[in-house]
């Protein structure tokens, strides 16, 4: 089931109440690749969370009090603290929650992942290891994955034909439990995209 199955909240909706203790809330949208990064990390680290989907074509007024930029993803915890910008939310979750660290402890290795994040497309052709961070899956792979998942859904995967290493990476990613549990169903995504391109406020709830 991708990204929470609740209908999105739109203009005129009541703001959700405070976040219960022991949970963290993510404001999301089922088809947004940036929000998917945060969902991947929440899943991968086994963090108890609730999802509030936002209608990005018809945003609730209260949503701007969560993020002045009005974008998803946004994290809200039970102390009312708000974190936005997908990469910042992912790093916050890695630091604030126990369990497997997705970012390396070594300062240089961590800096390398951040440089890779910045130089995404250039590194593609130079990468010698199976995953972007080394020989096992880590933060940088989750940050990049959403776009490649969509390539396939949109049948644009000829783009990766010239890069067999990338194809191998995509196959390896599909084996990951966090990735496979959030895979977007092709028909649903295409349905969403059709409505989205027509500026329909129903787009975000397609398939519910």
Binding site for another protein (CB under 8 A): 77, 81, 83-85, 88-89, 91-92, 95-96, 107-108, 110-111, 114-115, 118-119, 122
Minimal distance, residue 94 CB to another protein, in Å? 9
Nearer to another protein, 85 or 152 (CB): 85
Minimal distance, residue 40 CB to another protein, in Å? 18
Strand 24-28 versus strand 49-53 pairing type: parallel
Residue that is written with structure tokens 């999301």 in the block:
28
Asked whether the beta carbons of 12 and 56 are under 8 A apart, the reply is: no
Nearer to another protein, 89 or 138 (CB): 89
Q: Judge whether 90 counts as a catalytic residue.
A: no
Distance CA 28, CA 32 (A): 7
In the set 32, 112, 159, 204, the catalytic residue is: 32
Nearer to another protein, 85 or 202 (CB): 85
Burial (Cβ within 10 Å: 0-12, 13-18, ≥19) of residue 172: middle
196: how many CB neighbours lie within 10 A of its CB? 17
Minimal distance, residue 84 CB to another protein, in Å? 6
Active-site residue numbers? Answer: 32
């Amino acid at each position: 089931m991708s990204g929470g199955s609740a209908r999105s909240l739109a203009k005129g909706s009541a703001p959700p109440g405070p976040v219960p203790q022991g949970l963290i809330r993510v404001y999301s949208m089922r088809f947004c690749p940036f929000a998917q990064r945060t969902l991947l990390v929440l899943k991968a680290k086994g963090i108890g969370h609730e999802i509030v989907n936002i209608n990005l074509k018809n945003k609730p007024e209260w949503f701007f009090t969560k993020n002045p930029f009005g974008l998803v993803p946004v994290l809200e915890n039970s102390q009312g603290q708000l974190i936005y910008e997908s990469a910042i939310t992912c790093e916050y979750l890695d630091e604030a929650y126990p369990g497997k660290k997705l970012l390396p402890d070594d300062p240089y290795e961590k800096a390398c992942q951040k440089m890779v994040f910045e130089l995404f497309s250039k590194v593609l052709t130079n990468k010698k290891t199976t995953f972007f961070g080394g020989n096992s899956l880590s933060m940088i792979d989750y940050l990049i994955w959403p776009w490649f998942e969509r390539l396939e859904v949109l049948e644009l995967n000829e783009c990766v034909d010239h890069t067999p290493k990338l194809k191998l990476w995509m196959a390896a990613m599909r084996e990951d439990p966090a990735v496979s549990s959030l895979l977007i169903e092709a028909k649903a995504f295409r349905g969403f995209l059709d409505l989205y391109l027509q500026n329909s406020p129903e787009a975000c709830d397609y398939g519910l």
